[in-house]
Amino acid sequence: MSEDEAKRWRATTILMVRKGGKVVIGGDGQVSLGQTVMKSNARKVRRLGKGGEVIAGFAGATADAFALFDRLEKKLEQYPGQLERACVELAKDWRTDRYLRRLEAMMLVADRNTGLILSGTGDVLSPEGGVMGIGSGGAYALAAARALIDTEIEAEALVRKALGIAADICVYTNANLVIETLEDAAA
């Protein structure tokens, strides 16, 4: 991995947990440029779709993420109630469109039934064990969440705890969190 590629993902920490009838996505608020914190309270987790039935979080370049949020919104309108189909179609476009191919971001998206990671390489991945993480602190948050998933802690508290652990380890992650929750369809 080149130095430029390594810098690309030093942007954030986003975590998704599906537990106890809920799906929760949380992210930190830090925006870094090199070694400088440019903003500490960015909102990297948002609700999308009609009625906010989809939660999405991004890691990577902010402008690129907003472009992807917009594209995903359009795919959700085109394929209502079909998050996986909308994401596959977005991933196809992202991989083949000359403009989109240059976007440097990853997305973690979920609705009541499905959770997925999307990347510019065409990846559409579902979670293992109901937990997924992306971004510079994603591996730390993912490890913490996996360690806590079988405890009594509820989904939102688990996300907060795991993101807090990531913030203590990753210098590109802070503890200014945005958390969004949906009731799981199975609940």
Q: Going by DSSP bridges, is the β-strand pair 31-33/22-27 parallel, antiparallel, or unpaired?
A: unpaired
Structure tokens at 183: 């009731």
Q: Which residue among 12, 13, 114, 173 is the active-site one? A: 12
Q: Indicate if 12 belongs to the active site.
A: yes
Q: Which residues are catalytic?
A: 12
